[in-house]
Structure 1
Amino acid sequence: MIQSSANSYKQNQAETAPPESLTLMLYNGAITFIKRTKQAIESKDLSLAHHYNTRVQDIVDELIITLDRKYPISEQLLALYDYMKRRLIEANISKDVAILEEVEGFFVEFRDTWKQAMVLARSQKQ
């Protein structure tokens, strides 16, 4: 019952969040699932590691799909997301924690930069 309520809350939060918050949620979700992937690899639960890794790949796909191509930076982000997706696939095949840490570093950088951009955008609206 509690899990169902938590899932409903998360779904409602995602459905009502502004686009900039959704991007932040995707970055945070990717970081969480990478951490879970690494834990599953360390505990030798390869099926669970595969599951979490593919969740991160799905997040990268969503980030690619939602890129606004009218901005020049989107092509650079697309190239980085594509690289990250390829690295996630490599990590999934080889169960390589080092590759996951590399991709996690990208997500942390994206998340932190995105948070700063959100703060800056809000301050300029006032």
Structure 2
Amino acid sequence: MFGTTQRGVNAYAKVGLETGVTAASPHKLIVMLYDGALAAIMTGITQMNAGNVQEKGKAISKAIQIIDNGLRASLDKEVGGEIAQNLDALYDYMSRRLLEANLKNQPEILEEVRGLLADLRDTWNQIGNAGAAPVPAKTPAFA
């Protein structure tokens, strides 16, 4: 009659995420995108190792979507110059590698991309903690 407990938990989590996104600075939004992509890749690795093809595909697709529609879309190439261009190329590389990992069922490729994203996330956090002006970015449109 009232739905499952899991549905209630999911709704609560969604409200919490939406509230966090609304209150987040542009810098924090990028961190959230990195975190989401990293979590999706870790899920992809787990599902790949478990032989769960459908869930592996969902997780890898989610990571690609976050990279392409979140991180890449947030780059302002005109203002960001060479750094933004290099990040765009790196994000493109990561998306292609994730697709390859999915098609070839190779967790080592997922680990490669996970490492690249983790390094970028750590660097982004250091920029934010130092108070320096980060690479200009538009507000991410990923949802």
Instruction: Give distance in 2, aligned partners of 1:94 and 1:16.
Output: 40
Matches within 5 A, 1:1-126: 1-61=8-68, 62-69=70-77, 70-72=79-81, 73-121=83-131
Displacement of 1:6:
1.3
Q: Which runs of 4+ in 1 moved over 2 A?
A: none
Displacement of 1:94:
1.1
Higher relative contact order structure (alpha carbons within 8 Å, sequence separation ≥ 6)? 2
Bigger mean CA offset, 5-14 vs 104-113: 5-14
RMSD between aligned alpha carbons? 1.1
Letter of the 1:66 partner, please give it.
S
Q: Counterpart of 2:131 in 1: which secondary structure?
A: helix
Structure 2 unaligned runs (5+)? 1-7, 133-143
Structure with the largest fraction of helix: 1
Q: Deviations over 1:20-45 (max 9, x none)?
A: 00000011111111110000011110
Instruction: Give distance in 1, aligned partners of 2:23 and 2:76.
Output: 20
Query: What is the aligned length?
Result: 122
Q: Counterpart of 1:71 in 2: which secondary structure?
A: helix
